[in-house]
C-alpha cells in the first residue's frame, strides 16, 4: 500500500522496509527523521521526502480517506532467515530470468535471509543476471560486485 501513495523515492522495496520496521501507518506517521534513518536503506533524502509527504495536507487527507475506507494499514512483521548463504546479503536482480519473475526471485532472496535491492552499490553482495541486464551489470563490474547467473543463484539457494 505504501508504494502506491506516490511518495518520491519510495518504491516497492523501500515501502516494504518501512512497513516491516514500523508495522503500522500510525507509527510511521509519527517517526521523525532519525527514526526513519534507523531503517536500513533509508537516508536523509528518502527521510525528507517521507516527512514532507506525511506532513502535507494532501498526505494527511489521503491517509484519513484510506482509514475511513477501511484499508488495512498494518504490516505483520516477518522474521528473516538467520542462517544460510543469503543471510545478511544484499542482492540485486537484473535482466530477464528464465525461471522466475523479478518479484519471485526477490521473494526467494528474502525467504533465504537476503535483502533484495533495486540498485547496485558498494553494499551489494551479488547481482543475479538474466537476459538483457543493462546498466546494473556494468555498475556491478565497475564496483567489483560478484555476478551470478540464474543457475549459480539456484545452486546458492540449494545450499540453504
Say what percent of the chain tops pLDDT 90: 50
**What is the per-residue pLDDT for 21?**
84
Count of structural domains, the chain: 2
Residue 126 φ/ψ, nearest 5 degrees: -140, 150
**What is the per-residue pLDDT for 23?**
87
3-7 average pLDDT score: 89
- 75 within domain boundaries: no
- Strands of the sheet with 146-149, listed across from one edge: 115-117, 90-94, 126-129, 146-149
- 82 within domain boundaries: no
**What range does the domain containing 105 cover?**
90-158
Query: What is the signed CA dihedral for 37, 48, 73, 40, rounded to 10 degrees?
Result: -20
- 153 within domain boundaries: yes
- Identify whether residues 117 and 147 lie together within a single domain: yes
- 85 within domain boundaries: no
Q: Over the stretch 71-82, which tens digit does the pLDDT of each residue have?
A: 888 876 555 556
**What is the per-residue pLDDT for 146?**
95
d(CA 50, CA 46): 6
Q: Over the stretch 84-140, which tens digit does the pLDDT of each residue have?
A: 778 889 999 999 999 999 888 988 888 888 888 888 988 899 999 999 998 999 999
**Least reliable range by pLDDT among 36-40, 73-77, 122-126, 142-146:** 73-77
- 84 within domain boundaries: no
Nearest to 90 by CA among 48, 118, 65, 52: 118
- Identify whether residues 58 and 97 lie together within a single domain: no
Amino acid at each position: 500500500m505504501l508504494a502506491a501513495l506516490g511518495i518520491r523515492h519510495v518504491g516497492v522495496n523501500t515501502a516494504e522496509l518501512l512497513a516491516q520496521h514500523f508495522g503500522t501507518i500510525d507509527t510511521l506517521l509519527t517517526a521523525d527523521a532519525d527514526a526513519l534513518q534507523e531503517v536500513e536503506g533509508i537516508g536523509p533524502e528518502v527521510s525528507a521526502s517521507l516527512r514532507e509527504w506525511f506532513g502535507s495536507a494532501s498526505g494527511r487527507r489521503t491517509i484519513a480517506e484510506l482509514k475511513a475506507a477501511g484499508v488495512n494499514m498494518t504490516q505483520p512483521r516477518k522474521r528473516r532467515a538467520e542462517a544460510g548463504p543469503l543471510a545478511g546479503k544484499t542482492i540485486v536482480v537484473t535482466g530477464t530470468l528464465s525461471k522466475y519473475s523479478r518479484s519471485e526471485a526477490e521473494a526467494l532472496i528474502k525467504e533465504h535471509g537476503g535483502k533484495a535491492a533495486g540498485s547496485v552499490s558498494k553494499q551489494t553482495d551479488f547481482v543475479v543476471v538474466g537476459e538483457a541486464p543493462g546498466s546494473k551489470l556494468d555498475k556491478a563490474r565497475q564496483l567489483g560486485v560478484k555476478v551470478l547467473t540464474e543457475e549459480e543463484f539456484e545452486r546458492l539457494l540449494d545450499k540453504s
